[in-house]
């Protein structure tokens, strides 16, 4: 069963209620089992116009880790990593607007700045907006980056994994011309298989039946993915590499940077650029023979590296609090 669950986790799925009832019931059941295995429970919270659906796990009295998924992903992309985090940390993973089960109006502004602001309102509503660890993958990395810049006094640490952004060292077609992201939209038969091969250096085996169901669901929701990409293109035009750097200079928190050396969407050279502009960034960890999805391709190693980093941050914070105590 676990191998089947991992296949579902690698599917980059966006499952919605409009899907076939039988597929939806089976898929939802398996995802819930995977969440349980990871120590998570499904929750929802209405904040203004957004009905947030999210996973929560771990002891709420422990430090909180906020995990943000990428474009066309869901909270479940993090499940395999979170399995190792929940024994030690309080974990929150939301489905972003236009992704997963989170519900928003059709005219919702899904630009990165607005998603960042709405995510802050979400953390406030949950009462977890102080002293949190923020982590983002791909598009989620861009959101985590901006979140940490705008609310730096609320952040204890930042993890950037194959993070999207506006970079001087960008050399992939998707970073140079964000309109090319539209080519990643799954809107016809065969697209999903090609997406997996592009996103991962070594895509895992997925049964044909599941692949077909996943592809059909992603095709059905392709217009939502298109909407998000349109917003990404707009914000890419508004930002320059220099303005992106300025935002990063504000971030004081310790930063961990993780990357796959075979990433064909956000090239690995970007990791060094990020380290150079972030004042408290550690030397990037570059995973050999890994693509854009380390959290799925190398989940256990990613979890170990992240836990080591988090524990170091927590020890430094405890030491600082002891030194400043009256």
Share of the chain above pLDDT 90, in %: 61
Q: Is the pLDDT of residue 19 over 70?
A: no
| Number of domains comprising the chain | 1
Q: What is the pTM of this model?
A: 0.89
Q: Is the Cβ–Cβ distance between 214 and 186 less than 8 Å?
A: no
How high is the pLDDT of residue 1?
30
168-178 per-position pLDDT tens digit? 999 999 988 88
Share of the chain above pLDDT 70, in %: 89
In Å, what is the CA distance from 297 to each residue of 117, 267, 301?
A: 30, 17, 9
In Å, what is the CA distance from 86 to each residue of 90, 128, 132?
A: 6, 16, 15
Cα 83 to Cα 73: distance, rounded to the nearest angstrom? 18
Q: Is the Cβ–Cβ distance between 69 and 75 less than 8 Å?
A: yes
**Which CATH number goes with the domain that contains 84?**
3.40.50.1820
- Provide the domain limits for residue 115: 2-324
217-262 per-position pLDDT tens digit? 788 878 888 888 887 887 777 778 888 899 999 999 999 999 999 9
């Amino acid at each position: 069963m676990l191998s089947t669950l991992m296949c579902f986790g690698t599917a980059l799925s966006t499952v919605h209620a409009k899907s076939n009832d039988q597929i939806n019931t089976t898929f939802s059941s398996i995802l819930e089992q995977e969440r349980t295995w990871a120590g998570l429970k499904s929750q929802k919270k209405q904040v203004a116009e957004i009905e947030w659906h999210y996973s929560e796990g771990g002891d709420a009295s422990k430090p909180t880790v906020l995990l943000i998924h990428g474009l066309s992903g869901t909270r479940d992309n993090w499940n395999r990593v979170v399995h190792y985090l929940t024994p030690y940390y309080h974990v929150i993973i939301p489905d972003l607007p236009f992704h997963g089960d989170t519900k928003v109006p059709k005219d919702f502004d899904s630009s990165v700045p607005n998603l960042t602001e709405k995510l802050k309102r979400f953390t406030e509503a949950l009462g977890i907006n102080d002293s949190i660890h923020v982590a983002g993958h791909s598009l989620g990395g861009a959101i985590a980056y901006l979140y940490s810049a705008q609310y730096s006094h609320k952040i204890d640490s930042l993890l950037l994994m194959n993070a999207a952004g506006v970079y001087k060292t960008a050399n992939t077609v998707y970073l140079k011309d964000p309109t090319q992201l539209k080519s990643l939209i799954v809107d016809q038969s065969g697209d999903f298989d090609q997406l997996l091969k592009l996103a991962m250096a070594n895509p895992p085996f997925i049964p044909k039946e599941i692949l077909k169901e996943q592809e059909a669901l992603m095709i059905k929701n392709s217009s939502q993915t298109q909407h998000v990409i349109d917003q990404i293109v707009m914000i890419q035009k508004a930002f320059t590499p220099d303005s992106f750097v300025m935002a990063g200079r504000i971030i004081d928190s310790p930063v961990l940077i993780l990357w796959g050396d075979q990433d064909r969407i956000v090239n690995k050279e970007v990791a060094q650029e990020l380290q150079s502009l972030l004042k408290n960034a550690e030397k990037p960890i570059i995973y050999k023979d890994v693509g854009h999805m380390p959290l799925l391709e190398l989940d256990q190693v990613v979890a170990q590296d992240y836990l080591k980093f988090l524990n170091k941050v927590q020890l430094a914070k405890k030491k600082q609090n002891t030194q400043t105590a009256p």
